[in-house]
Every structure is written in C-alpha cells, then in structure tokens.
C-alpha cells in the first residue's frame, strides 16, 4: 500500500471515478497565461503531462490517441494535402500527420506556446517533426484563425482540444463548426476528440452531432479507441464530412502505408467505426 504522496489522482466527477498513477516525483510546474501545466515522472507510464489537474498524456499510452486522431481521418480523405490542427500543443498529432507524404502543409494553432516548449523538453519524441518544412506552428487564438481562413483552403481539420469546459468550450459550438466547414474544400473532413462514449454521449457527443449537422456538414460518425489514462479508459473522436458520405477513401494505401504504427491499421480503422448497439441507441436518443 503506497502513501498518498506517491500517487497522482485525477477525479472524474461525472464518471463517479478516480484514476491514480504511482509517481516518483514532479519534474516541472508552471502557471502559463492560460493554464497550470505540470509534468510528473511516473513509476510505470513514463513522463506524464497534466493541465489544470487533468491528465493530458503519458509516454506509455499517448500513441493510441495521437494515431487515432490523425490516421483515420487522413486515410478517409482522397488527397489530404492541406491540414490544420487546432490545439495539439504537445505535437504528437502533428508528428503523425507528417508521416503522410501526401500532406504538403500543416498549420498547427495552439494558443499556449508553453505547452509546446514543455513538450519539447520532456516529450522530445512527440516533437521530432516540429522542424519539418511542411509544418507551421502558430501560437494564437484558433477560433479567430479559423474564422479568417479563405473558403475551401483546407482539406482536413483536426481539433485536438481539451475538454469542452473553460477555454475549450468555444471549440464545440455551431459557430466554430460553421467556420470550419467554410474553410474546407469540397471533400473536406473534420475530426474532433469527443470524450468517452460510456459517459459523455448525452452531454458531449450527441450535441456535437446536432451542431455539426446544423452547421451544414452532411455526414457525421464517431470512432472509438482505448486510452487507459483518460476517464473510463475508452475514448472517441467524431468525424464530419462537408459534402457526401464519409468513406474509407484510401484503404489500399492504409494497408500498404510506408510508415510504422503501434496501434493504427486498416483493420483497426474499420473496427473503430463499428459502434456497439448501446452507443448507436444513445446517439439516436433512445
């Protein structure tokens, strides 16, 4: 039995649960202009970044999240050349996007530069593509940036955001979704992390469907995947298509992808979009 001081515990009130990791010590703590950022050395999960008391990532399991935020949506687009990432300051999703040779330009917009600088120090493996000439990192307001983008200027938008509370709440609004749809080209796709299917369907995921459709997107689907250090250990991302049905456009390329992944495969891609009956019913409000 460990003493309380040797554990980091995140309490999820809406889940009625708490999740703890054994820690060796705290490596860093600072209050940025936007949020409190901490880094811990855990006993079994490597370095862990915590923002405002919530686990953002660990070295042991972040690949699950970053691969599933990037590869399903990119392989579902016929030619994802122009990509924007809103949020994603740890740069793990950016790294995965840049594995795709078809991608010619990625703009990452995160309001808090300190997240990226801390990631460069304590999670250098996530930042190994930050100097890629196709990447542009901007530390500004992503809402305003998106509203200023020309019509049809992007192929894929990835919203790698925090929870829809506090500063992240504006990234889950119909107005923001309308700006995203306007910036997308005809085959454009949008994806956003959408929390746990087990406990957030009524409060987050179904309202996202309603707002995305109200904003003019034609097709919306949710994919799911494990992230052990997030509440319930079961996470999701919701994908919306600007025009026409969502489809696995580049399945052959996914099968023969020229880069290694630790979780994503074409088979995992297909399985992730297969929703359990209870989740389909919950999305339908039944």
Q: What is the pLDDT of residues 74-125, one digit of tens each?
A: 999 999 999 999 999 999 999 999 999 999 999 999 999 999 999 999 999 9
The single-letter DSSP state of residue 266 is: H
What pLDDT digit, counting tens, does each position of 38-58 carry? 999 999 999 999 999 999 999
CATH 3.40.1190.10 correct for 4-58? no
CATH of domain 62-283: 3.40.50.150
Q: Which stretch of DSSP H or E encloses residue 8? A: strand 7-12
- Strand order from edge to edge, sheet including 36-42: 7-12, 17-31, 36-42, 47-51, 54-58
C-alpha span between 275 and 273 (Å, rounded):
6
C-alpha span between 138 and 145 (Å, rounded):
10
Residue 168: per-residue pLDDT: 59
Q: Would you list the domain boundaries of the chain?
A: 4-58, 62-283
Pairing of strands 219-226, 17-31: unpaired
* Percent of the chain whose pLDDT exceeds 70: 95
* Among 101, 102, 95, 99, residue whose Cα is nearest residue 80: 102
User: C-alpha dihedral over 174, 218, 107, 111, to 10 degrees?
Assistant: 20
What pLDDT digit, counting tens, does each position of 191-215 carry? 999 999 999 999 899 999 999 999 9
**Residue 13 burial by Cβ neighbours in a 10 Å radius (0-12, 13-18, 19+):** exposed
- Band (pLDDT 50/70/90 cuts) for residue 1 is very low
Mean pLDDT of the chain: 94
C-alpha span between 93 and 60 (Å, rounded):
15
139-169 in b/e form (b: 16+ CB < 10 A) is eeebbebbeebeeeebbbbbbbbbbbeebee
pTM greater than the 0.85 cutoff: yes
What pLDDT digit, counting tens, does each position of 175-192 carry? 999 999 999 999 999 999
Please give the positions annotated as active site: 160
C-alpha span between 74 and 240 (Å, rounded):
12
Length of the chain, please? 286
* Percent of the chain whose pLDDT exceeds 90: 89
């Amino acid at each position: 039995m460990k003493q309380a001081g040797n554990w980091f515990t995140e309490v999820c009130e809406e889940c009625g649960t708490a999740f703890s990791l054994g820690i060796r010590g705290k490596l860093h703590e600072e209050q940025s202009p936007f949020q409190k950022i901490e880094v811990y050395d855990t006993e079994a999960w490597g370095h862990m970044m915590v923002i405002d008391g919530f686990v953002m990532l660990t070295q042991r399991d972040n690949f699950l999240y970053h691969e599933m935020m990037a590869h399903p949506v990119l392989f579902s687009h016929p030619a994802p050349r122009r990509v924007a990432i809103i949020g994603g300051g740890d740069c793990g999703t950016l790294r995965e996007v840049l594995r795709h040779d078809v991608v010619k330009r990625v703009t990452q917009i995160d309001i808090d530069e300190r997240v990226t600088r801390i990631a460069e120090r304590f999670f250098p493996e996530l930042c190994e593509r930050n100097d890629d000439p196709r990447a542009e990192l901007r530390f500004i307001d992503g809402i305003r940036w998106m509203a200023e983008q020309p019509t049809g200027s992007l192929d894929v938008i990835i919203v790698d955001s925090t929870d829809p509370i506090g500063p992240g709440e504006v990234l889950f609004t119909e107005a923001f979704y309308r700006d995203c749809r306007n910036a997308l080209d005809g085959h454009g796709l949008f994806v956003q992390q959408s929390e746990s299917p087990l406990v957030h369907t009524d409060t987050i995921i179904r309202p996202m469907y309603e707002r995305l459709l109200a904003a003019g997107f034609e097709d919306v689907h949710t994919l799911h995947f494990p992230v052990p250090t997030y509440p319930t250990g079961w996470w999701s991302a919701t994908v919306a298509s600007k025009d026409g049905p969502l489809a696995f456009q580049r399945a052959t390329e996914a099968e023969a992808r020229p880069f290694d992944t630790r979780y994503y495969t074409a088979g995992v891609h297909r399985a992730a979009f297969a929703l359990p009956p209870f989740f389909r019913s919950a999305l339908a409000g039944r």
